[in-house]
Amino acid sequence: MNIENIDVSSYPNSEKIYVDGTLPGVRVAMRKIHQYPTVKIENGKRVEYPNEDITVYDTSGVYTDPDVNVDINKGLPRMREFWIENRNDTEILPDITSLYGRERRDNQDLDPIRFPVAHRPRKAKEGHRVTQMHYARKGIVTPEMEYVAIRENLDNRERGIDTYITPEFVRDEIAAGRAIIAANINHPEAEPMIIGSKFSCKLNTNIGNSALSSGIEEEVAKAVWSCYWGGDTLMDLSTGDNIHETREWIIRNCPVPMGTVPIYQALEKVNGDVGRLTWEIYRDTLIEQCEQGVDYFTIHAGVLKEHASLVSERLTGCVSRGGSIMTQWCVLHDQESFLYTHFDEICEILNKYDVAVSLGDGMRPGSIHDANDRAQFLELEVLGRLTEIAWEHDVQVLIEGPGHVPMQKIAANMDKQRIVCHEAPFYTLGPLTTDIAPAYDHITSAIGAAIISSLGTSMICYVTPKEHLSLPDLNDVRDGVIAYKIAAHAADLCKGFPGAQVRDDALSKARYEFRWKDQFNLSLDPEKAKKYYLDSRRNAPDADDRFCTMCGPNFCAMRISQNIADECKQ
């Protein structure tokens, strides 16, 4: 097991910094980008004006901390463990609860692919709920809440940027269900982050193997890669072999919250035979994953038997895997979905580990034709009712949405979700704004994602160029993440998120002053920006020229502008 093929050692001219909070152990990782000075010639003399450091949100974990020697075979530091222990409402279990989990542990054939360090699962003590929502409702500001408040602010306050984001504000948003901190007590390696419409827009990446491709090593590499480029959360959607072991490797090395769709693994346990799925198998899978440390579960509990017939009215049926599985289960058994009928029990499991529920949109439209149809919106209403139930159990909730939705139908999704789901954070795939561009669906969907997040969606799930065609590789993950960083940031600017424009202004100033290196370093993908520039300058590789090959020296508008400014002064 190694990730030698990925260089995530550092960002150019950047420094990993930690900002201390007031609560013990709160030490928030950020990245500070240093800039070169602005050089001017004044009265024949060279004068340097320093440019301020720019601090940016950092999802890369200790992988980019030169002081930490990460060993994938040991896992990341367990930073949250101290806070969790301190609350004194959990206990280390004497054994794994899940039957399947024990079976995997005891199977010696799996030793070669097993994560070397055994994780000892933790659970709430009898009679306790250990969710961030539970604490928030009691008025407690947890270290996690202080952590995200500092993280969202970056250095706004130092810059004198006025902002509403305090630890108490975070607490109140979580208590109201308008934001969540997905933070399983069994995933102490993750750095807390918040998902809610009043915070910066987050992005999720999907990784995971299928029966046809990709092994554990590759999936761990994708996870690290995703965090490096800016993925805020990560879903392991594996459906192939060794899901349990793959997940363990990822969680132990994952600095961001990780989600799964437990029905996938449950279905693998019955060899893909939907008819043989049972509540008992599903329940054991939930517990197995809760104890490994999954931070949020996509649960398609809104797919009801009565909606099954709507699928056949659609152009593209049901394109959610979980949704199609549950619909088929309902039809085969002529029974209501066990996810729906057992939803209370599910919540009582989740609040023992603080796993958030991401209510899946099984009726997500798979084509422009099917957008905003009855199947989709009836399910959304069910999700609203399930939200109320989850909140009764102090379980944190996300609501999943969109898919393929043309631009004029996007706002209705956000409006309806906000109303029927009582402002629980919306988490949408794209939406893709047209069906006609396979191989470019990171773009069809970045358009929709920017729009829907500007309207209040809290987290957007990336789509890679390979969507509809095949599993993404590392390059696709990078392309997908950057496209979604763009959408999320465009939305933050649009919403006037405090401090969002600082980075744009710094980069534009660097651009205007021909500080090429700063322009690269401040960008979302310094490596590619620099490469594009230098490739065209192979014969004159001085990155300090006051023009680029796009216009050449005579036609650089920015250079002429500076002359104008000088001439106006004279």
In the stretch 114-153, what mask flags binding to a copy of itself with x, by CB under 8 A?
Answer: ----------------------------------------
Residue 168 in tokens: 């108490």
Q: Which is nearer to a copy of itself, 188 or 366 (CB)?
A: 366
Shortest reach from residue 464's CB to a copy of itself, in Å: 10
Q: Assign 433 to helix, strand or coil.
A: coil
Nearest approach, Cβ of residue 23 and a copy of itself (Å): 32
| Among residues 8, 389, 543, 558, the one that binds a copy of itself under rule CB under 8 A | 558
Shortest distance, CB of residue 253 to a copy of itself, whole angstroms?
Answer: 24
Of 420-449, which residues contact a copy of itself (CB under 8 A)? 433-440, 442-444, 446-447
Residue type at 327?
Answer: T
For residues 213 and 220, the answer to whether their CB atoms sit within 8 Å is no
The least CB distance from residue 408 to a copy of itself, in Å, is 4
| Contact flags string 459-498 toward a copy of itself, x per CB under 8 A | ------xxxxxxx----------xx-xxx-xxx-xxxx--
The tokens describing 180, both together, are: 């969540």
**Smallest separation, CB 310 to a copy of itself (Å):** 10
**Residue 293 region, left (φ>0) first, then alpha (ψ -120 to 50), else beta?**
left
Q: Verify binding: residue 523, a copy of itself, rule CB under 8 A.
A: yes
Residues 303 to 362 in contact with a copy of itself, rule: CB under 8 A: 308-309, 311-312, 315-321, 323-325, 327-328, 331-332
Is residue 554 within the footprint of a copy of itself (CB under 8 A)? yes
Question: Least distance (Å) from a copy of itself to the CB of residue 366?
Answer: 7
Region binding a copy of itself by CB under 8 A among candidate stretches 35-43, 154-162, 248-256, 532-540? 532-540
Closer CB to a copy of itself, 409 or 416, in the complex: 409
Choose between 28 and 507: whose C-beta lies nearer to a copy of itself: 507
Nearest residue (CB) to a copy of itself, 131 versus 337:
337
Strand partners, 38: 49
Is 551 a binder of a copy of itself (CB under 8 A)? yes
Query: Considering beta carbons, is residue 353 or 484 the nearer one to a copy of itself?
Result: 484
314 is written with which tokens? 């659609």
Q: Which of residues 72-91 bind a copy of itself (CB under 8 A)?
A: none
Least CB distance to a copy of itself at residue 503 (A): 5
DSSP bridge pairs for 17 = 30
Cα separation, 329 vs 325, in Å, equals 6
**Near a copy of itself by CB under 8 A: residue from 15, 372, 406, 411:** 406
CB 257, min distance to a copy of itself, A: 23
CB of 486 to a copy of itself, least distance (A): 5
Token reading at 304: 């009801």
The CB-of-172 to a copy of itself minimum distance in angstroms stands at 26
Q: Collapsing DSSP states into helix, strand and coil, what is residue 298?
A: strand
Q: Does 40 bind a copy of itself (CB under 8 A)?
A: no
Total residues contacting a copy of itself (rule CB under 8 A)? 115
Question: Cα(311)–Cα(289) distance, rounded to whole angstroms?
Answer: 30
Which pair of tokens denotes residue 121? 């699962």
Q: Which of residues 258-297 bind a copy of itself (CB under 8 A)?
A: 264, 267-268, 272, 274
Q: Residue 542 interacts with a copy of itself (CB under 8 A)?
A: no
d(CA 476, CA 465): 6
Task: Copy the structure tokens of residue 318.
Answer: 């049901």
**CB burial of residue 113 (10 Å; 0-12, 13-18, 19+):** middle
The structure tokens 């050449």 sit at 552
Residue 522 in contact with a copy of itself, rule: CB under 8 A = yes
Give, as ranges, the residues between 187 and 246 that touch a copy of itself (CB under 8 A).
Answer: 210-213, 239-240
Angle, alpha carbons 564-566-570 (nearest 5°): 110
Residues 92, 86: Cα–Cα separation, whole Å: 13
Residues 368-397, interacting with a copy of itself (CB under 8 A): 368-369
CA angle 196, 197, 200 (to 5 degrees): 80
Task: Supply the minimum distance, in Å, between the C-beta of residue 256 and a copy of itself.
Answer: 21
* CA distance linking residue 98 with residue 104, whole number of Å: 10
Choose one: 15-23, 84-92, 130-138, 509-517; the region binding a copy of itself (CB under 8 A). 509-517
Whichever of 227 and 368 has its CB closer to a copy of itself, that residue is: 368
Six token digits for residue 561:
């502008």
Give the residue with the Cβ less far from a copy of itself, 23 or 556: 556
Q: What is the DSSP code string of 114-148?
A: S-SSPP--EEEPTT----HHHHHHTT---HHHHHH
Give 69 or 554: the residue with its C-beta nearer to a copy of itself.
Answer: 554
Q: Smallest distance from the beta carbon of 290 to a copy of itself, in angstroms?
A: 22
Q: Which residues, including other chains, have CB under 8 Å from residue 22's CB and lie 6 or more apart?
A: 146
Instruction: Find the shortest distance in angstroms from Cβ 111 to a copy of itself.
Output: 26
**The three-state (H, E, C) secondary structure of 462-494, written as one string:** CCCCCCCCCCCCHHHHHHHHHHHHHHHHHHHHH
Shortest CA distance to 151 belongs to which of 315, 299, 30? 30
Q: How far is the CB of 125 from a copy of itself (least distance, A)?
A: 38
Which residue, 426, 343, 458, is CA-closest to 391? 343
299, 360 contact by CB (below 8 A) = yes
Token output for 331:
């039809």
Of 239 and 278, CB closest to a copy of itself: 239
Q: Which is nearer to a copy of itself, 327 or 387 (CB)?
A: 327
Q: How far apart are CA 300 and CA 80, in angstroms?
A: 30
Closest CA to 390 of 323, 345, 341: 345
Q: Which is nearer to a copy of itself, 170 or 339 (CB)?
A: 339
The SS3 of residue 235 is: strand
* Contact between 363 and a copy of itself per CB under 8 A: no
Q: Is 415 in the site for a copy of itself (CB under 8 A)?
A: no
